[in-house]
Chain A
Amino acid sequence: MTDIEPDDTVDARGAACPGPLMDLIGRIRGAESGDVIRLLSDNNQSLTDVPEWAEEAGNELLAVEERDDHNAFYVEKA
């Protein structure tokens, strides 16, 4: 478990690809620089989509937390 405190959480559980990544991008759009957004996704594709996009956009993927039926991604806006 991480002790990172997110500023905002996007719950995209149940959404099909590319829903979770698009939900994250949408939330990051409106966030301030330095904000940490937590994305909850049960779509396996997110495990590659989210790191790839974070790198492309220069945002930092701080942690990925594996939970029972989904993953939590912590992304800090550059």
Chain B
Amino acid sequence: MTEHVVIVGGGTGGTVLANDLADRLEPELDAGDVRVTLVNDDSDHVYKPVWLYVPFGQREPDDGRRPLDDLVDDAVDLRIDRVSDIDTESQRLQFHGSAPSVGYDYLVLATGSTLEPDRIPGLTEGGHNYYSESGATDLRDELLEFTEGDLVLSVIGTPHMCPAAPLEFVFMADDWLRERGLREDVDITYTYPIQRVHGNPHIAEWARPIMEERDIQVETFFNAESVDPEAETVTSMEGTELDYDLLVTIPPHGGVDLIEEAGLGDGGWVDVDKHTLEAEAAEDVYALGDTADTGVPNAGSVAHYQAGVVGQRLASEIRGRPATATYDGKTLCFIETGMDAASFVEFDYENPPSPALPSEKLHWSKLAYNESYWLTARGLL
């Protein structure tokens, strides 16, 4: 009997896993004992970290897109479709439109994060973001015109993708405006929902003095409640009102609805065992990347490591052996601290981060990683 592994989501985690399985299970795939299907709702694979550089004119959105067909091993069945329903009892998936449902023996959910700006009144009209392709190009056009006034970067809620990216944006904006001789005419304010500038206390402690040094104003305990695009103000649940001329936000994030509808977790995030990545509420279901609620950052590096763990576990299960691979919370992150310097952190469930001294070398390492990412997606790196 053929065992069918279905992966939903062809972003970082899903693509790395599909290629990992193609490699790991080559004999079984060749013999027809196993089938691997990767379902994604876009024929392109999108590498989101490129969007950080788009507003500063350093990258184009197309630099972050490649056809999935070019990235995924031929042994994997690629299906461009959107999954609309998961039935974990009968182990079947339904698709949008009239396509017939598909059964699975093992299901891996790698559906990532969804932006939900409509949760904050006025945000869609008044705010900009670099967390989507169109958001990043719109923000680029605004930034090019922006020569004076209040630039506010507001982090609205957590979890969100890449917890370092809001810090990176203000550090880069500060440097970019300085280089262009405009910094004295621009006030930069950074807001964060809790009482420090980052969710992780070690990263917050490292970042706060840099912000002070660079004259970046900070508003903590600021949970944006509404935006008034006419008056150009953003008001928090805590009662603080900020004027802005350019508002950049990290919009509220959610998972995908079908996860909640399938009873796999609240808010579209799958409740998983944080070591095995197995769904708590169903058999033979795994989740990885942003969608897996493990408490670690929503980062591509996390999705990458988790894909290796799920790949090993699935191969063991398919071969009838006990699955022993576990995820230890490993996270890697380069943090841009300007236009030509970056820091780096590495941590896991046990060991907290300790940010490296920013350097030009680390900045080039981040850019080099971005270029070699396509090898990561292919499963080569």
Contacts and interface: CB of A to CB of B under 8 A. Distances in A.
Interface stretch (B14-22, B191-199, B355-363): B191-199
Contacts of A49: 194-195
Nearest to A25: B223
Given A17-B199, A56-B221, A57-B221, A25 B295 contact: no
10 contacts: A15-B295, A18-B193, A18-B194, A19-B158, A19-B295, A22-B159, A22-B194, A49-B194, A52-B195, A57-B238
Contacts, number: 43
A52 B238 CA distance: 11
Nearest to A21: B194
Contacts of B225: 29
A57 B199 CA distance: 19
Given A18-B158, A58-B239, A53 B295 contact: no
A75 interface: no
Interface of A: 15-19, 21-22, 25-26, 28-29, 49, 52-53, 56-58
Given A56-B221, A57-B221, A25 B199 contact: no
Nearest to A59: B237
Contacts of A52: 195, 221
B229 interface: no
Given A28-B237, A53-B221, 17 more contacts: A15-B295, A16-B295, A17-B201, A18-B199, A21-B194, A22-B159, A22-B193, A25-B223, A25-B237, A26-B157, A29-B237, A49-B194, A52-B221, A56-B221, A57-B221, A57-B239, A58-B238
Interface in B145-179: 157-159
A52 B220 CA distance: 12
Chain B interface main SS type = loop
Nearest to B196: A18
Which of B119, B159, B221, B237 is the most central at the interface, judged by chain A CB atoms within 10 Å of its CB? B237
B237 A57 contact: yes
B316 to A, nearest CB: 26
Contacts of B238: 56-58
Contacts of B158: 18-19, 22
A18 B157 CA distance: 10
A44 to B, nearest CB: 13
A42 B12 CA distance: 32
Interface of B: 119, 157-159, 193-195, 199, 201, 221, 223, 225, 237-239, 295
A22 B157 contact: yes
B162 to A, nearest CB: 16
Contacts of B195: 49, 52-53, 56
A40 to B, nearest CB: 14
A22 B194 CA distance: 8
Given A56-B221, A57-B221, A25 B193 contact: yes
Nearest to A15: B295
Nearest to A53: B221
A25 B201 CA distance: 19
A62 B123 CA distance: 32
Contacts of A18: 158, 193-194, 199
Contacts of B193: 18, 22, 25
Contacts of A29: 119, 223, 225, 237
Contacts of A57: 221, 223, 237-239
Contacts of A15: 295
A33 B193 CA distance: 20
Contact of A53 (B157, B194, B199): B194
Contacts of A19: 158, 295
Among all A-B residue pairs, the 6 with the closest Cβ atoms? A16-B295, A56-B221, A57-B238, A18-B194, A18-B199, A56-B238
A63 B194 CA distance: 21
B282 to A, nearest CB: 18
Nearest to B198: A18
Contacts of B295: 15-16, 19
Contacts of A21: 194
Contacts of B157: 22, 25-26
